[in-house]
């Protein structure tokens, strides 16, 4: 029997690394991408165990077509995991980001997850005589645990994803399907280059801070961890018999956990000082 894993946002970064890792360990991967060019590139570089699906998590019709294709590819074999990885970052001050951009942020990062789970769940829940674990893996972020300034939409979407994951996990007890949340910190992926190129929203009171945007992005790039740390965790979260509900992937995680335990007024003062010194947005 072949074991299939569906991954959204597979064209680059964490998604692409997970595709490579899983195929190397014997899994068949349904790699969801938005265009034929990415589909062809992934097929060429990863090999026969990768099966591209053209799918946009914000477009219902493309998702229905992708599901129909997935059913044909899987056949009598088994879908053992959904990896919800597709995501975008909308950044800037809350006061100035257009509501349409907030809608776009949630449409991809939250509602895209809901659409994927609802549409593909019946394939994951399908009973077959097999003992492989079945998992829903939601790729969240450290921003789902700590809301830094100037990424309000992104942090809000990831906080919402954390809540969605908790509710879903508690609802699926009768299916024996576990929901795992992976919370990466700064990871070496193309998302940072995209952050440089993305539209930037601001107002006059923030100009002196936003001017240091590229400096902060470069600092994040220097401090970022290898993407393989996340793909390794995705593999283990699919394959291992026992898994935790959450996995934080961050250098000096102990420091981050201490910051989270401090009174919010203390943390606000630390951030305010860092912003006044134009040295960063996070106190860790």
Say if 44 falls within a structural domain: yes
- Which structural domain range is residue 74 located in? 3-199+226-251
Q: What pLDDT, on a 0 to 100 scale, did the predictor assign at position 265?
A: 96
In a domain, 8, yes or no: yes
Number of domains in the chain: 1
Tell me whether residue 56 is in a domain: yes
CATH number at residue 123: 3.40.50.720
Q: What is the pLDDT of residues 249-273, one digit of tens each?
A: 998 888 888 988 999 999 999 988 8
Task: Confirm whether 59 is domain-assigned.
Answer: yes
pLDDT digits (tens, 9 = 90+) for 14-68: 999 999 999 999 999 999 999 999 999 999 999 999 999 999 999 999 999 999 9
Average pLDDT over residues 217-243: 87
Separation between Cα atoms, residue 188 and residue 14, nearest integer Å: 9
Q: What is the structure's pLDDT at 48?
A: 95
**Domain-located, residue 282:** no
To the query of whether residue 201 is one of the catalytic residues in this protein, the response is no
Q: What are the DSSP E strand ranges found in the chain?
A: 3-7, 28-33, 50-54, 78-84, 134-139, 177-184, 246-249
Q: What are the distances in angstroms from CA 257 to CA 128, 146, 174, 176?
A: 41, 10, 33, 30
pLDDT at residue 198 tops 90? no
For residue 234, tell me if it sits in a domain: yes
User: Domain for residue 49, yes or no?
Assistant: yes
- Return all residues near 233 (Cβ < 8 A) that are at least 6 apart: 182, 247, 249
Lowest mean pLDDT among 50-54, 170-174, 222-226, 276-280: 276-280
Q: 75, exposed or middle or buried, with CB in 10 Å at 0-12, 13-18, 19+?
A: exposed
Query: How large is the average pLDDT for residues 148-169?
Result: 96
From the candidates 3, 27, 154, 247, give the one annotated as an active-site residue. 154
Distances (CA, A) of 61 to 57, 68, 104: 10, 11, 18
Beta-strand pair 134-139/3-7: unpaired
Asked if the structure places residue 79 within a domain, the reply is yes
Say what the pTM is.
Answer: 0.92
For residue range 267-281, list pLDDT tens digits in order: 999 988 888 876 666
| Dihedral sign (CA 62, 233, 121, 141) | negative
Q: Kindly state the tokens that stand for 39.
A: 């589909």
Q: Quick one: pLDDT band at residue 208, thresholds 50, 70, 90? A: confident
Q: For 70-125, what is each residue's pLDDT tens digit?
A: 999 999 999 999 999 999 999 889 999 999 999 999 999 999 999 999 999 999 99
Q: How far, in Å, CA of 18 to CA of 14, rounded?
A: 6
pLDDT value for 219: 66
- Contact by Cβ (8 Å): 45, 259: no
């Amino acid at each position: 029997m072949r074991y299939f894993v569906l991954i959204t946002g597979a064209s680059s970064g964490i998604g692409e690394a997970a595709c490579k890792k899983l195929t190397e360990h014997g899994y068949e991967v349904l790699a969801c991408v938005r265009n034929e060019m990415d589909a062809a590139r992934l097929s060429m570089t990863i090999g026969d165990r990768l099966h591209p699906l053209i799918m946009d998590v914000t477009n219902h019709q493309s998702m229905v077509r992708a599901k129909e294709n997935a059913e044909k590819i899987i056949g009598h074999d088994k879908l053992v995991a959904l990896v919800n990885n597709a995501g975008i970052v909308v950044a800037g001050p809350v006061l100035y980001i257009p509501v349409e951009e907030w809608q776009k942020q949630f449409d991809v990062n939250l509602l895209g997850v809901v659409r994927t789970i609802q549409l593909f769940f019946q394939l994951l829940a399908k009973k077959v005589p097999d003992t492989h674990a079945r998992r829903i893996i939601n790729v969240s972020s450290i921003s789902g645990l700590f809301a830094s300034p100037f990424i309000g939409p992104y942090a809000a979407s990831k906080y919402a994803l954390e809540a969605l994951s908790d509710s879903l996990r508690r609802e699926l007890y009768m299916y024996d399907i576990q929901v795992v949340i992976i919370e990466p910190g700064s990871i070496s992926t193309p998302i940072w280059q995209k952050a440089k190129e993305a539209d930037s929203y601001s107002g006059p009171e923030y100009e002196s801070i936003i001017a240091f945007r590229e400096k902060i992005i470069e600092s994040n790039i220097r401090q970022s961890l290898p993407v393989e740390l996340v793909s390794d965790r995705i593999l283990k979260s699919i394959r291992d018999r026992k898994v935790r509900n959450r996995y934080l992937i961050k250098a000096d995680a102990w420091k981050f956990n201490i910051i989270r335990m401090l009174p919010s007024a203390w943390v606000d003062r630390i951030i305010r000082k860092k912003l006044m010194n134009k040295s960063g947005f996070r106190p860790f």
